[in-house]
Amino acid sequence: MCKHDYPLEPYKIKSIERIQKLSREQREKALIISGYNVFSIPSEKVFIDLLTDSGTSAMSDSQWAGIMTGDESYAGSRNFYHFKKTVQDIFGFKHVIPTHQGRAAERILFEVTTHQGDFVPNNIHFDTTRANLEVRGVLCEDLVQEKAYDPEADILFKGDMDINKLEQFIDEKRPENIPFVMVTITNNSGGGQPVSMGNIKDVSQICRKQKIPFYIDACRFAENAYFIKKYESGYSHKSIHEIVKEMFSYADGATMSAKKDALVNIGGFLAVNDDELALKLKNNLIISEGFATYGGLAGRDMEAISRGLKEVIEQDYLEHRIGQVGYLWGLLKKAGIPLYAPSGGHAVYLLADQFLPHIPRNEYPAWSLTIALYREGGIRTVGIGGMMFGKKDSKTGQEIFPKLELVRLAIPRRVYTQSHLNFIADTVIQTYKKRRDIKGFRIVYQAPYLRHFTARMEEINLTNS
């Protein structure tokens, strides 16, 4: 193996999907039609799609074979029982509630457990978590350790929650106003950084002492467990499965988007221990998602999830997966590109405000960079910054921006090869060389929630500024 390589793919390719790079003119036209929003560009006009690692995994032959064993009975599908047993075996929770994706699990949990004026802390709320809480009048607080906001602090377990801040927060807001505490593993909105077992244990202890339920946003649980095995003292000899079991033993439940670490294209679940709560959640599920043994999923989907959950905790898969992300991060670092450090679990994050220091925050540098990367190489990425999380101050009407202005290059699981990663690195480096020509953007249309998905934007030229 040469110096910059990463562990070999523990699989070979059986089926392929054609991709093609449009000409520069065709890409420019696609941008205009989309209103300069990469979410509105048809995927066939994208060469390398790094928009998300969610629902974009390549399934295995075993998962595809599982699809053919789908039992599509309305009630009591055999695939549900396999799914339930797999989730119980891996995570250790008593009740397993299938949902069509992660945000449905969030919505159901929040509708049953929260009220207007409640407070919910997280290390950093992911956008769907935050939106599903805020739409109910719940106040969201991000309590990740301060170093997470220092993109250059190259420390382990940067996704850890600040325990002192959590204690102070509970003291101030009072436990009765906090329906639960949540921790997101890995911390997607903070560089995809892992959370240590020690931190999960500490949060759990505080919650148990204060009688506040503790939930884990489990989307990337296997990637988080891999970091614990590799870097946290006392875990190197344990299997990923043992580490996962221990992580969730400290929680009262979890919401899961199976579109990440269950290696499927659709699906999710909610898992809890409390019998009474499970009943309420299932009643909500039946009204909104479907009967308790399918919850918005087909039997075949539940089968693919069960098989994916077993594959995702394999050591050689995780070594390759995290190795790929580290490889791309290393190529960009070597070229002097401003990056969030250290390399995380599922994505490489560019520091858009340092990449484009001439673009002020109110002209959305992360947005500009996503457009520039599509222009340069047909690569689709996502801005995680002012457009995603910025909001108006109710008193001054001024826009308040989040601390980090990032562009995420999410790596789909088992999809791209080393040559693709090399091409991505070259495109970013070329874009960096041309950075002074990149312009800011202004909003033409925005929705009241999750505005980045549907916004229409206009490039700020001297002539229209």
Ligand X SMILES: Cc1ncc(COP(=O)(O)O)c(C=O)c1O
Interface residues toward ligand X, by CB under 6 A: 54, 101-103, 126, 128-129, 184, 188, 217, 219, 257, 259, 268
Cα-only R_g, the chain: 22
Output the smallest distance, CB 267 to ligand X, in A.
Answer: 8
Q: In the structure encoding, which two tokens stand for residue 222, read together?
A: 């296997």
Nearer to ligand X, 77 or 129 (CB): 129
List of long-range contacts for 418-421, beta carbons under 8 Å, 24+ apart: 418/5, 418/6, 418/327, 420/48, 421/324, 421/327, 421/328, 421/331
Residues 312, 277: Cα–Cα separation, whole Å: 29
Using alpha carbons, select from 184, 204, 111 the residue that is nearest to residue 143: 184
Least distance from ligand X to the Cβ atom of residue 435, Å: 28
Least separation in angstroms between residue 31's CB and ligand X is 24
Closest distance to ligand X from the beta carbon of 55 (Å): 7
**Least distance between ligand X and beta carbon 134 (Å):** 14
**CB 160 to ligand X: min, Å:** 16
| Nearer CB in complex with ligand X: 161/356 | 161
Please say whether the beta carbons of 94 and 282 come within 8 A: no
Closer by beta carbon to ligand X, 196 or else 427: 196
Indicate the residue among 69 and 265 with the shorter CB distance to ligand X: 265
Cα pseudo-dihedral 144, 146, 152, 157, rounded to 10? -40
Nearest CA among 130, 177, 174 for reference residue 384: 130
Q: Could you tell me the two tokens for 337?
A: 């590109």
Nearer to ligand X, 349 or 441 (CB): 349
Cβ distance to ligand X smaller for residue 268 or 378? 268
> How would DSSP label each residue in 404-436?
--EEEEE--TTT--HHHHHHHHHHHHHHHHTGG
Q: Could you give the 3-state DSSP secondary structure of residue 204?
A: helix
Q: How far apart are CA 216 and CA 224, in angstroms?
A: 12
Q: Minimal distance in Å, beta carbon 101 to ligand X?
A: 3
Buried b (16+ CB within 10 A) or exposed e, 316-340: ebbbbbbebbbbbbbbbbeeebbbb
The span from the CA of 348 to the CA of 240, in Å, is: 23
Q: Which residue's Cβ lies closest to ligand X?
A: 102
Which residue in 163, 159, 161 sits closest to 221, CA to CA? 159
Q: Which is nearer to ligand X, 103 or 380 (CB)?
A: 103
Least spacing, CB of residue 105 vs ligand X, in Å: 8
Tell me whether residue 45 or residue 259 sits nearer to ligand X (CB atom).
Answer: 259
- d(Cα 441, Cα 263) in Å, to the nearest integer? 35
CB 258, min distance to ligand X, A: 7
d(CA 345, CA 222): 10
Nearer to ligand X (CB atom), residue 219 or residue 351: 219
Considering the complex, what minimum distance in angstroms separates the CB of residue 219 from ligand X?
4
> In angstroms, what is the minimal distance from the CB of 274 to ligand X?
21
Q: Which is nearer to ligand X, 103 or 158 (CB)?
A: 103
Q: Which is nearer to ligand X, 142 or 217 (CB)?
A: 217
Q: How far is Cα 372 from Cα 428, in angstroms, rounded to an integer?
A: 9
Cα–Cα distance, 269 to 282 (Å, whole number): 11
